[in-house]
Structure 1
């Protein structure tokens, strides 16, 4: 591969294997690849004369595409940074992980040979073990400076009684994360919450914790924007505005649901943002705060003056 080549990197999602091995290898050759998830299959005309690199796994949609149009594709590569071709190497892994490797990696060895795939590996051990493939070694590289961004953390710390509010936030967070890649989202929840946000990038789901542990959590710096939505329900009408204290204690600025609960303490654009429960309005409010550091400082100073 050389500068000017078109390369498609196929990965399940953004992952360290791609970022530490494949992307540096390509950039050192002057190549800026197109990164695609399993489901992001480009029109076949865009693949004409291009190379395709599978990172660890071969998904069915891409396999089918290459089966139909192999003659149009310049080269096919498979990169692995674990021993994915020897079932003995992963036989002690959890069964679900074993099944994934068998489905997406181990079972495709014959197919990879059939399409003339070249093997890329992460270690001399793998290079020696699979010498008959004539693999190319890709040593790991540190992340490029432009990738070492300082993300802003948006968070919602609700308990099990806030299930409806968490579900309401899901499309808001999906839109926010898609429109600003420097944002990450932190939420407290159980397995159901983890499933709800599965598939979204840069989401951290924290296990529920006891009150002393939570106080220690919010006392640590690193959070920028706190969220306090309130669905209009009988249960929520009885709530107090204690989340204002939690968000401010965390050193963050809040986006709060308009209405009497937070309206008793929050003055819009003085110590927080009061926003009606409209998902588009919440997306706009979060992105506005993310883009305006001076406004966040101003609102945080106003909020702290109320404590």
Structure 2
């Protein structure tokens, strides 16, 4: 039984600086429910709401003693000051990263405000969190190789599939194909690279619709097309609800060659599978490491013409496309099983 698993009495404290997707995918929605059921105490503390740790006194003083602390991506200097001053009280500190923040700060293709924030984090926050951490947990092998130059204990934890349909989206009819792209503004340039191919395919296939969840940031060739919907970027909980309600046949995951992109996880493979669709992925890591080309997805070259060719191939073969989507869903359930996360964090309980 789970309650005999040896986690009773363990106390976990996740100090949140607002990185809700990272927190849920790698801990709060995957391992935390199981840890709680097994007898551990798991608390998520919103450090943006409680900007000063003193506002949480004396409860926080008691909570920190013997706690296993998780920090995701960033944390304010006031809270880092607290952790540094109370480090001896803590059972462990685990720093969770799903992006190369240094690379983000230097990537000219990313939004300016995001680059500026990541530049500040890279200089002022990242070194202190690395120094505090007993272990750095990262989302890809490439990111692990980079962080190992700066920390002696680095572990890789792949993303989890938070939900999935029972079966892939039913086989498309001639006039009912649904295509989706759910990247953030950080991947606007990646989408721009294939914009012309998408317009060409839309013009040639009147039964195809495309959803791009970037609102007014959607690239111009697509933004005003009558079969392209452009919902505004969503907060995490709203995005999850939207994803659960989306039943796609095809999903897009272009990832052009940059240092920032090279450290990414394969989260888009899981997201596309969660909609019941099959994905078209750039032919590079992380996707080339997990996608069986032509079996549970397509790997596509860095050429708009190849993206157009691969889309046309899938549209021309609805039965084969459905089979690929079903295999992708099965693979996503395997590699994205929350059981991996439960085992990972169970091994680290004190």
Could you tell me the TM-score, scaled by structure 1's length? 0.49
> Over alpha carbons, which structure has the higher Rg?
1
Instruction: Using structure 2 for the length normalisation, give the TM-score.
Output: 0.44
